[in-house]
Amino acid sequence: MMEALDMRDDAVDQSAIAAQNALQLIAFSIGEQTYGVEITTVREIRAWNGATPLPNTRDYVRGVINLRGTIVPIFDLRARFGDGKTTPTKNHVVVVMSVGNKWVGILVDAVSDILTVSRDDIHNVPEGNSIDTELLNGIVTHEGRMVGLIDLLAVVSSARADA
Amino acid sequence: MTGLRILTVDDSRTILAMLHHTLSNAGFEVFQAEDGRQGLEVLRTQKVDVVITDINMPIMDGIEFIKAVRASGEFQSLPVIILTTETSQDKRDQGKAAGGTGWIVKPFDPEKLISVIHRVVH
Amino acid sequence: MSDLDEFKVTYFDECSELLGELEEIFAVIELGDRDSARINAAFRAVHSIKGGAGAFGFSALVEFAHGYETLMDQVRDGRVSMSDDVVTLCIRANDLLADFVGAARSDAPLAAEHGLAEKLQMAALAEGQAIDGELDDFDFDFTPIAVDLGKDEAETKIEVHTDQFADAPSTDLDGQWEISFRPHAALYARANDPLLLFRELAALGHMSVQAQMLDLPPLADFEPFGVYCLWTISLVSPDLTEAMIREVFEFVEGDCDISVVRLGEQTGTGENDVTVQVAISATDVLDPNINDFLMLSDDEIGAMIEFGEPDDLREAPLVGQETVGASIPQEAIAAGPEAGIPEPTSAKPIVELADEGDRRAVGVQSIRVDLEKVDRVVNMVGELVITQSMLTQQMDETLRTQYTELVRGLEVLAQTTRGLQDSVMAIRAQPVKSVFSRMPRLVRELGLKTGKTIKLEMVGEATEIDKTVIEQLSDPLTHMIRNSADHGIESGAVRLAAGKPEAGTIRLGAEQAGGNILITIEDDGAGINRERVLQVARSRGVVAPDADPTDEQIDQLIFAPGFSTAEAVSDISGRGVGMDVVLSNIRKIGGSVNVRSRPGRGTRMTLRLPLTLAVLDVMLVQVGQSRYVVPLSSIVETIQCSRAAFSRVPSGGQVLHVRGEYVQVIDLAERFELDGARDAESRFLVLCEAEGSHKIALIVDDIMGQQQVVIKSLEENFERVEGIAGGTILGDGNVALIVDVQGLKASDPHRTAA
């Protein structure tokens, strides 16, 4: 066991370390803002096609959709950030992701890019806006743009109206 | 030796499953029956090289089953291994008297099972 | 999952079945049936549980099961009689056995004293008969050939051999064994074969075999399966022990004369001699009349075998009436029957065995499939049903006239899909027997506890119902039967005074009626005391003071939550505690309960259950822009709002006055905060039965029809949502939510419609 580990350590070269440290993000926009989630969590990107509203839930829960026979909740990211409910059109996009063992969709304005960033470049979210610190894991700058890294668990937690 | 076709007769699915596992891993083809009557049905339609049978079974128990096997001219020389437990020597003797070729004691050791089969089959 | 774990799953599955079987068997035995087949079946069940437990090393379980098995073994032999005490002990043992199985399953050992008293009781019962048992053992016809025979005996027998083998060639007698072996006809009759024994012996050391023809009868008297031959085998190996040799002959003990002699120590004092001569007839073995020898070397064993076959012995006289000498030439064997050596019947060429392909077992009439796998199929079929109805909905009139072939295809698809759905549901179905079988026991216990004589009759046990429904059925049934026994059936004296038979009867029945299963629990007791029920209901505000409910409505009140306290109902000679719990349990599985009582004559409760849980019959309703579904099993009736009698209550809420009851009104649009044009007059009320017999009226915008839907979980990807029991996917692919009628009732009562 030890031997195997040692060998692996020896075999890792610089570029591999760099690759290990790299993070691929799906970037999407809400208004002027760009956000990103780790690409490995994304299961599907689909155009907005309505959702069945869920009663007794927070306003950022847009409802549920049928994703090949399973019911998946959709979260309105704009509303989650406290900027009011999105008025979705057919150009709006739902990004379906897995969070833990659940699948959830988030409603965003558009998917913009796939970005590769280094973990070393991730900064802490500045104190101040409590919603930002609550919902973001960090901030990374990519080609002059600031990309907020979404904390999915935080986004989907306590969605019940009474919570 | 591999390729032997073995009929296993036991009303316990656990035992059947274990027999199946052991025997198929050893390269044998396994047939299953849950009582003596089913066992005879299998024998009617399948060519089998060895039979492994439990004694205590519903509908037709192992003793009756072995007797029936022996009574038919066709299966006079078909080896029949009796599955017994440590504590049922009398059953084993009855099984043997009925025409059982050999026996193995449950819970069986897989190696022992294979060696018993080898002991009664060409 | 490891192999062993998989076997364990099978084993515990099997244990559950066997324990159920035991329960069932003893329910009948208890009624006085002492049929030996039943007792045998009970023995087998215990035996099987023990057998598997041994395989997994569940020693506590093995130990307990062993004691129980021993007792049952003696009972079935008639050595212990199945007295009432023994029956009671066995019934107790069944419970304990279940405990031990449970402990093995959860790997949580029971306390050492668990079941100890019963174990001792069983042992005492069995031991009381021990002497008989031993005597019986001696009845068996077995030859006392034992490897561990006493030394004294060994010494006396040695004498027989000493002379005979004194002249044996002995260059190096160390590790040289002489075995003489004469099979009886029985050996062949049990499909044993000297060849195999020799093969095994040959593996132990260097072997040579001599076959000796015994006196052969005249050909006319020749028995095809007779034995006219004995073999003397010499085996040389330094490490050989007698036990090793004996083991080879393990299976043919009693079916042959055999002696095992270690050479080289024969002439000694016998002190060190471990040889045991147990041959039944040593003189036969050493018959001086033996005149012919067939000498075989190791290499020639193959040839010898043919000769050893009983079949072949038929031919032997022809060859060797005078001289059988010389080994059989290989060509003769190769030539087969033509050469006068028939092909042995039991030694089929291996090639022939191998090329039979892989035909599967035919004796198996059922297969065991993981429930999860079945559910996956159920789910997919559900999807198929939806897709199919979606396609059908897409067909408008234009398309219909244009593509007649397509329409026909869709119709066939619809039919096939429906059939597929039914078939898949049938896979999950199980006879209700598995629940019913627990009830006789319960009734017996209740009888003992209450001092009443109660008979239980059961019909329709073979009726099949979804496995999940069955699992949910046990508690409500137990509860209802307990209530019948406690409160329904009167004491013997009261019954006799009322001109009824002293023994009360509870009848448990199951039948299929359309897409439902009806379970009835009927007693011939006193019936529900309606006056008292109504009185309590009024005092508890369950019924409006001025309301005048019908008898049926009063009967139904026993399911109301207000009745669930013992004080309130202890004097009602109808039902007792917790019937509201029964109702909510039944509701949970999409069922309903109906009660009918006739004063002095008895009470009948009918459970209406869905055949399956996966598919729900629903009413599709429109609320605002959304569609919701309400389980049909909850719906009492639908009323147009324009025809409904609403009243205001002081809190400002609205109630519906219907059939003498005031019913809470919930406007779904309001409760669910949905917008929509609300023309009050055109809306509908859906009257539902919630918890207990408590009703609520839901206001919906429109009723769109009934259909079957496949239930989908919201919690799988989200969380519980208040007022919503789950979701389903409609024909158009959109999600509709299932209204949780129970949940709505449970939520804040101040939010009733204004």
pLDDT digits (tens, 9 = 90+) for C384-406: 877 777 777 777 777 888 888 88
Question: What is the pairing mode between strands B50-54 and B5-9?
Answer: parallel
Three-state DSSP class for residue B86: coil
Three-state DSSP class for residue C566: helix
Is the pLDDT reported for residue C56 higher than 80? yes
A115: nearest Cα among A82, A86, A144: A144
| pLDDT more than 70, % of chain C | 73
Task: Tell whether A64 is covered by a domain.
Answer: yes
Res. C174 pLDDT band, cuts 50 70 90:
low
Is the pLDDT reported for residue C576 higher than 70? no
Give residue for tokens 């429906």: C418
pLDDT of residue C522: 93
Average pLDDT, consecutive stretches of 10 residues, N- to C-terminus, chain B (122 residues):
83 85 85 89 86 87 88 83 76 83 81 84 78
Nearest to C251 among B18, B29, B101 (CB): B101
A132: nearest Cα among A148, A156, A120, A108: A148
pLDDT of residue B7: 93
Number of folded domains in chain A? 1
Chain B interface disruption, residue of C362, C365, C366, most B CBs within 10 A: C362
pLDDT of residue A52: 93
Determine, for residues B77 and C346 on separate chains, whether the beta-carbon distance falls below 8 Å: yes
Is the pLDDT reported for residue C295 higher than 50? no
**C71: which residues sit within 8 A by CB, 6+ positions away?**
C80, C86, C89, C90, C93, C122, C125, C126
Strand partners, A65: A72
Chain C interface disruption, residue of A48, A56, A58, A61, most C CBs within 10 A: A56
Is the pLDDT reported for residue C150 higher than 50? no
**C259: which residues sit within 8 A by CB, 6+ positions away?**
C161, C179, C180, C277, C278, C279, C282, C285
Using CA atoms, how far apart are residues C227 and C179, in angstroms rounded to an integer?
Answer: 18
Express each pLDDT in C417-460 by its tens digit: 888 887 887 787 888 888 898 888 888 888 888 888 999 999 98
C721 interfacial to chain A (CB closer than 8 Å): yes
- Which stretch of DSSP H or E encloses residue C583? helix C579-588
Nearest to C721 among A55, A102, A104 (CB): A55
B31 CA to centre of own chain: 10
Express each pLDDT in C156-173 by its tens digit: 333 333 333 334 444 455
Res. C555 pLDDT band, cuts 50 70 90:
confident
Mean pLDDT estimate for chain C: 73
Three-state DSSP class for residue C729: strand
C92 interfacial to chain A (CB closer than 8 Å): no
Determine, for residues C55 and B38 on separate chains, whether the beta-carbon distance falls below 8 Å: no
Give the distance from residue C353's alpha carbon to the nearest chain B alpha carbon, in angstroms: 6
Task: Tell whether A36 is covered by a domain.
Answer: yes
Task: Tell whether A10 is covered by a domain.
Answer: no
Using CA atoms, how far apart are residues C753 and C742, in angstroms rounded to an integer?
Answer: 17
More confident residue, C363 or B101: B101
Over residues C97-108, the mean pLDDT reads 89
Domain residues for A79? 22-156
B112 interfacial to chain C (CB closer than 8 Å): no
**What single-letter amino acid sits at A134?**
E
Q: Which positions 64-83 of B are in contact with C (Cβ < 8 Å)? A: 70, 76-80
Q: What is the ipTM of this complex?
A: 0.84
Question: What is the pairing mode between strands B50-54 and B102-106?
Answer: unpaired
Task: Tell whether A161 is covered by a domain.
Answer: no
Residues of C in contact with B102 (CB under 8 A): 192, 250-251
Separation of first and last alpha carbons in chain A? 48
Q: What are φ and ψ of residue C693, in 5° steps? A: -95, 10
C103: nearest Cα among C164, C12, C20: C12
Over residues C178-206, the mean pLDDT reads 82
What separation in angstroms does the CA of A81 have from each of A160, A162, C218?
A: 16, 19, 109
Is the pLDDT reported for residue C13 higher than 90? no
The two structure tokens encoding residue B17? 């499953």
Using CA atoms, how far apart are residues C726 and C618, in angstroms rounded to an integer?
Answer: 13
Using CA atoms, how far apart are residues C29 and C35, in angstroms rounded to an integer?
Answer: 8
Nearest to C718 among A53, A55, A73 (CB): A73
A46 interfacial to chain C (CB closer than 8 Å): no
C478: nearest Cα among C433, C442, C518: C442
C374 interfacial to chain B (CB closer than 8 Å): no
Q: What residue of C is the nearest CA neighbor of B40? A: C363
Using CA atoms, how far apart are residues C624 and C548, in angstroms rounded to an integer?
Answer: 36
Using CA atoms, how far apart are residues C39 and A141, in angstroms rounded to an integer?
Answer: 80
- Which stretch of DSSP H or E encloses residue C53? helix C36-56
Using CA atoms, how far apart are residues A100 and A102, in angstroms rounded to an integer?
Answer: 6
Mean pLDDT estimate for chain A: 82
Determine the longest span between alpha carbons in chain B, in angstroms: 34
C303: nearest Cα among C325, C324, C334: C334
CATH 1.10.3720.10 fits C432-610, yes or no: no
Give the distance from residue C673's alpha carbon to the nearest chain A alpha carbon, in angstroms: 7
Task: Tell whether A62 is covered by a domain.
Answer: yes
Q: Which positions 246-285 of C are in contact with B (Cβ < 8 Å)? A: 248, 250-251, 254
CATH assignment of B5-120, among 3.30.559.10, 3.40.50.2300, 3.90.1300.10, 1.10.3720.10: 3.40.50.2300
What separation in angstroms does the CA of A137 have from each of A38, B4, B94, C425, C431?
A: 11, 63, 76, 47, 55
The two structure tokens encoding residue C54? 């041994």
Size of interface B-C (CB pairs under 8 A): 146
CATH number at residue A26: 2.40.50.180
- Which stretch of DSSP H or E encloses residue C522? strand C516-523
- Angle, alpha carbons B1-B5-B11 (nearest 5°): 130
Strand partners, C423: none
Listed by start position, the domains of chain C span: 3-139, 151-329, 372-430, 432-610, 615-751
Residues of C in contact with B49 (CB under 8 A): 348, 353
pLDDT of residue A11: 42
List strand residue ranges (DSSP E) for C31-134, in order. none
Residues of B in contact with C6 (CB under 8 A): 17
Nearest to C735 among A71, A103, A162 (CB): A71
Q: What residue of C is the nearest CA neighbor of A75? A: C718
What CATH code would you report for C3-139? 1.20.120.160
Three-state DSSP class for residue C507: strand
CATH assignment of C615-751, among 2.30.40.10, 1.10.10.10, 2.30.30.40, 1.20.58.220: 2.30.30.40
User: Burial code of A49-83, b = ≥16 C-beta within 10 A, e = fewer?
Assistant: eebbbbbbbbebbbbbbbbeebbbbbbbbbbbbee
The two structure tokens encoding residue C132? 């008989």
Determine, for residues B103 and C251 on separate chains, whether the beta-carbon distance falls below 8 Å: yes
The two structure tokens encoding residue B79? 């080896």
Q: What residue of C is the nearest CA neighbor of B116? A: C251
The two structure tokens encoding residue A10? 């020896």
pLDDT of residue C692: 52
Res. C521 pLDDT band, cuts 50 70 90:
very high
**C66: which residues sit within 8 A by CB, 6+ positions away?**
B87, C50
